């Protein structure tokens, strides 16, 4: 079986201490590769390499056009190896092959997009500011932030890494990437592509390993200027505490329990399609999954019946099997957490409409039927807490005001969706939903050109779009005094 390598200072190598752990195929529950188990010493080597590269200016000192040319080579490398990477992600994560292919294509586009922003940076002029005193000339400029420590999740192993790597590199930063130990293999391929593109040594570094042995040392490292994390709220708190101890910039993209408001005037088939997409895409392992569906009461019985019928028709199986729309849960640990949430939902008094069990005739693999709960108590854990699996909760509402109150009654605020043929109502509701991302008459479409991030405990900062690029810069003022003038506060002017 293949054993992955670390990529530090332009070279591939095993961890200093050696060691690895198995990568498990969630469809078969069998190991298929070994993942290099990086530890604190490897993190230290990687961060110091990134620090040297940044301070030497081998990357930040290039023009934006030069950096953009390198990023476009990476994008082309991803496209060239798309089928290979997609197959890796199917086996590592369990997602259906068409979804994995879509993810790799999106990753390539993201590199191209940020290459364009890097190229445009060369024509960006400093902002001149009139400070009201003719003796002073002031300007505002910006420069790359420095060394970035990035910790990324397992649900989109390559794509979530690229969301951090591409804008950081475009801005001129150097980076150390620590992907989730559950799904690390495609990030090794990304390192190979970056290496082949000729990006200078130390600019991009990859250290795989567990959270305690590699993630925490990266978060704690004093030479990191910024920590960028995507994952759970609990781990995000730890990353934020580490950033606070060193007074460093932090960006957190955390969990969600996103609402989907469906009004009675919309087409049932369209509503069901987007509800399915909003919760069963990527097996529900999506931070923005619209897992709380609120349906206007007059539509509620009919929509539930059609949703049950459509969910039960979804093809379940190994992600590489033709026609499969729901692959296995990523790991046994996650599988057990979802089953516990379903048991909690049953105990809460919610009505189990469909699913909640292993599919019939499936003896191995972390497979789970798409699961629908209805009439869910609003204080139940399945209504309030992120499950991160193919489980949706559906409740009725009577008025627009009630729907908004239920939607916004959450500790999270990542995403939300509204569906209605009344576009004025859609716009009105969208403005009142307390979320960083709002979809109208759809759910989950994501574009690299638009900012991504949430309110409340869903995180701090934004990824993607220009905001995701600007987040990797520091702002600097330069104030100049006219040398022909005399200040003369403490010392007299020239005789």
Enumerate the active-site residues.
Answer: 253
* Residue 404 contacts residue 236 (beta carbons within 8 Å): no
* Residue 253 contacts residue 287 (beta carbons within 8 Å): yes
Helix or strand holding residue 333 (H, E):
helix 332-348
Rg of the chain over CA atoms, in angstroms? Answer: 25
* Residue 145 contacts residue 172 (beta carbons within 8 Å): no
* Residue 205 contacts residue 13 (beta carbons within 8 Å): no
Q: Where are the beta strands (DSSP E) in 277-429?
A: 292-296, 351-354, 371-374, 391-397, 412-413, 415-419
Alpha-helical regions (H) of 358-478? 381-384, 400-408, 423-432, 465-470
Reported for 217-222, long-range contacts at CB under 8 A and 24+ positions apart, including other chains, are: 217/39, 217/40, 217/43, 217/44, 218/43, 218/47, 218/149, 218/151, 218/176, 218/178, 219/149, 219/151, 219/243, 220/245, 220/246, 221/43, 221/44, 221/47, 221/149, 222/246
How does 27-55 read in b/e, with b if 16+ C-beta sit within 10 Å?
beeeeebebbbbbbebbbbbbbbbbbbbe
C-alpha dist (Å) from residue 252 to 44, 151, 410: 22, 10, 18
At 476, give phi and psi (nearest 5°). Answer: -130, 135
Q: Give the integer Cα–Cα distance in Å for 213 and 10.
A: 22
475, with CB counted inside 10 A (0-12, 13-18, 19+), is exposed
DSSP states along 29-49 = TEEEEEEE---HHHHHHHHHH
Q: What one-character DSSP code corresponds to residue 267?
A: -
Q: Give the integer Cα–Cα distance in Å for 193 and 197.
A: 6
Q: Is the sign of the CA dihedral 243, 244, 248, 252 positive or negative?
A: positive
Q: What one-character DSSP code corresponds to residue 138?
A: E
Q: Give the integer Cα–Cα distance in Å for 368 and 44.
A: 40
At 255, give phi and psi (nearest 5°). Answer: -85, -175
Q: How far is CA 111 from the centre of its chain?
A: 15
């Amino acid at each position: 079986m293949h054993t992955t390598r670390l990529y530090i200072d332009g070279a591939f190598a095993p961890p200093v201490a050696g060691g690895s752990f198995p990568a498990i195929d969630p469809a078969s529950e069998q190991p298929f590769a070994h993942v290099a188990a990086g530890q604190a010493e490897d993190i230290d080597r990687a961060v110091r390499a990134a620090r040297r590269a940044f301070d030497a200016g081998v990357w930040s000192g290039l023009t934006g056009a030069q950096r953009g040319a390198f990023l476009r080579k990476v994008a082309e490398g991803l496209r060239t190896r798309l089928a290979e990477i997609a197959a890796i992600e199917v086996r590592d994560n369990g997602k259906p092959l068409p979804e994995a292919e879509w993810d790799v294509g999106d990753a390539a586009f993201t590199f191209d997009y940020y290459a364009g922003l890097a190229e445009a940076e060369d024509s960006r002029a400093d902002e001149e500011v009139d400070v009201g005193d003719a003796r002073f000339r002031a300007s505002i400029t910006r420069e790359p932030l420095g060394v970035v420590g990035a910790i990324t999740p397992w649900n989109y192993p390559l794509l979530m890494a690229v969301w951090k790597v591409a804008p950081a590199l475009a801005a001129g930063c150097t980076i150390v990437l620590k992907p989730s130990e559950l799904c690390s293999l495609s990030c090794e391929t990304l390192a190979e592509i970056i290496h082949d593109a000729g990006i200078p040594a130390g600019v991009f570094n990859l250290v795989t390993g567990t959270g305690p042995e590699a993630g925490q040392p990266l978060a704690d490292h004093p030479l990191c200027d910024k920590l960028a994390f995507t994952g759970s709220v609990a781990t995000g708190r730890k990353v934020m505490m580490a950033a606070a101890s060193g007074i460093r910039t932090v960006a957190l993209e955390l969990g969600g329990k996103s609402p989907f408001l469906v009004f009675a005037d919309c087409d049932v088939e369209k509503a069901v399609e987007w509800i399915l997409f909003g919760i069963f895409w990527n097996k529900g392992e999506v931070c923005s999954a619209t897992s709380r569906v609120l349906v206007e009461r007059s539509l509620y019985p009919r929509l539930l019946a059609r949703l049950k019928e459509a969910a039960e028709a979804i093809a379940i199986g190994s992600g590489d099997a033709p026609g499969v729309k729901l692959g296995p849960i990523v790991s046994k640990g996650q599988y057990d957490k979802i089953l516990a949430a379903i048991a909690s939902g049953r105990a809460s008094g919610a009505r189990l409409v469909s699913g909640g069990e292993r599919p019939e005739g499936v003896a191995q693999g972390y497979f789970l039927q798409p699961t629908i709960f209805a009439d869910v108590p609003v204080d139940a854990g399945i209504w309030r807490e992120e499950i991160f699996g193919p489980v949706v909760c559906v409740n009725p509402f009577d008025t627009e005001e009630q729907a908004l109150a239920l939607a916004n009654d959450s500790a999270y605020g990542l995403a939300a969706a509204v569906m209605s043929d009344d576009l004025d109502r859609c716009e009105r509701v969208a403005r009142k939903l307390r979320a960083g991302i709002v979809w109208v008459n759809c759910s989950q479409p994501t574009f690299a050109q638009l900012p991504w991030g949430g309110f409340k405990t869903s995180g701090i900062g934004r990824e993607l779009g220009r905001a995701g690029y600007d987040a990797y810069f520091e702002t600097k003022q330069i104030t100049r005094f006219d040398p022909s003038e005399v200040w003369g506060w403490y010392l007299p002017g020239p005789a």
